[in-house]
Amino acid sequence: MKTVPYPTDPKLPRSNSKLSTRPARFSGTLKSLFKKKEKKPSDQEVWMMYAGTMSCPVLTPPESQHRTPPEPEEEPVDDSSVEETPTKTHHRRVSSAVPSKPLPILPLDTFLPKHDITNYEAALEKAVQELQNDFQSGARQLADASLAHLAHISEIGASVATTWGKFWAIMVHAAKQLGQARPSMSAAITSCLLRTLERVARRWNDETEKGQRNTEDLVRIARGLLEEIRTERRQISARLDETFAVWLKENFTQKPPSGVPFISGPGIPFNIPTPPKTPRTIRILTLSNSSTIRSVILHALAALPTFDFHLTILESRPRCEGADMASHILSAATDKQRIAVRIVPDSAVGTAARNIDIVLLGADRISSAGDVSNKSGSLAAALCVKQLNSNAAVIVVSDIDKIAAPELEESARESHPAHELSSAWAPDTRNKLEEMEKLEVFGEWFEWVPAKYIDMYVTELGILDIEDVERVAKEIQQLDEYIFQKKKDGEGSARTSTEGSSKEGSVGDREVEHPVWRSEARTIF
């Protein structure tokens, strides 16, 4: 009969022949012995207490005293049922619940000024074109740029606004046009601008309650608040970085040992405890050139000196943003000895997905159901890793502005011209194909990753689950209907329309189209 060497602490039970002859119920007595210990347990005792705990997820550390206790309605899970039906790994959730505030009171006379708005319209049209032509920035960077554009355009419009309502109409109209500039990025831009407008209206309400304010005072207040919000948004990256680094430290430094089953006697199961997991190389698969992904990786490299990182980056055709990301990370890395980067073609994602610990995805849009729109290749990366390594985690790193209202989930798709893909072909081949009819070149850059392939959402508010995502989406929908007046007046709100008829050629409420984008996802030569 085999015996298992136990720790030499005399206070801990030993394995011997007498123990093996006791009935199965004696295992409950052993557990009660551990519960009676009042002093702080040693490492060996901790290993013993976790022996036999098979329900702990692979990537979840033991619950600490600072963790949120389980909700009272949750019932303990039976061990036998857990063994029969494997469940998806659950990660530590950081609640982001914030008490909802009543919506601010909006002005009534919200009409765009009829005269002297040429400079305002020109500035707005220029801002829209800049957003449309920016193919280097990600969704969050475009949202920041949109906020800067809104501040500049509002300054120009303030010179012709004679009432609070007219100035509000100027801001709302500009926000709507900026949000429509990039269909695939509209969730981040629109959410950012809606939250900004809500805060402006709330601040105006607070100031008017203190005393009578004229339009000039309200414009000055809005100017200061816009600058304040822009400063606050610079801290989003730091909060995202910290959330991801804490998760890495907790889940890759150690884990609850599951042990190896061993039977020392009839009906007496024991597990051999294993020591905590030591820091190791973390293998990450990612793609495209997300500023959020770059930031969390560089922060983790600096904040976790005992960790090594091996990055596999898909080159992300046709613009090969993956190579740009690799260049940025290697140039900015503070400790190049602990980071290794490998660039692979998109077609090799199946091979690249082997032995991966984490698939790290950015997000251009997150639906209320938790589906994520990101650069093409994201779905293949998630599917391959899930198929080849069931213990790997697919993680979306994003700020909450990417979460779209339900009605904004199906945005217009961006389709880019064929030459962006065909420019890499041999000249003779390209010329011949251009002469052929009915040749289609796929020009869509973004695709959806279903929520069932995603393990967690890392945001500036913490780690969100599906319920959190749905709640944020509903909040954005409420703001969208309330501030843009879609629910009451329709898409083209009469409350934010021009007094009388808009002059021909002005931006008005029309959507500025871009000659590059088509209504279809494919381009025919």
Residue pLDDT, tens place only, 397-443:
999 999 998 876 555 566 777 777 878 888 888 888 888 877 888 87
Helix 321-332, helix 291-303: angle, nearest 10: 30
Tokens found for residue 159:
């010179």
Average pLDDT in the 349-353 region?
Answer: 94
Handedness of CA 456, 316, 386, 309 (dihedral sign): negative
Residue 447 phi, psi (nearest 5): -145, 165
CA pair distance 202, 197, nearest whole angstrom: 9
Domain 118-234+475-508 belongs in CATH node 1.20.120: yes
Position 409 scores a pLDDT of: 56
Cβ 187 vs Cβ 130: under 8 Å: no
CA pair distance 357, 396, nearest whole angstrom: 14
H or E, element range at 510: none
- Residue spans in the chain of domains classed CATH 3.40.50.10470: 280-464
Q: Where are the alpha helices (DSSP H) in 417-456?
A: 419-422, 427-435
Going by C-beta distance under 8 Å and a sequence separation of 6 or more, which residues neighbour residue 376? 444, 445, 446, 447
Tokens found for residue 476:
């954005």
Rank 50-64, 86-100, 193-207, 330-344 by mean pLDDT and report only the highest: 330-344
Per-residue pLDDT tens digits for 238-296: 999 999 999 999 998 755 444 444 333 444 444 444 444 555 899 999 999 999 999 99
Tokens found for residue 127:
């801002």
Rank 94-103, 156-165, 487-496 by mean pLDDT and report only the highest: 156-165
- Residue spans in the chain of domains classed CATH 1.20.120: 118-234+475-508
H or E, element range at 456: strand 456-459
Q: What is the 3-state secondary structure (H, E, C) of 346-381?
A: HHHHHHHCCCCCEEEECCCEECCCCCEEEECCHHHH
Average pLDDT in the 371-391 region?
Answer: 94
Position 514 scores a pLDDT of: 33
Per-residue pLDDT tens digits for 471-508: 999 999 999 999 987 554 444 433 344 333 333 333 33
Amino acid at position 404, single letter: A
| Model pTM above 0.85 | no
CA pair distance 149, 126, nearest whole angstrom: 9
CATH class of 280-464: alpha beta
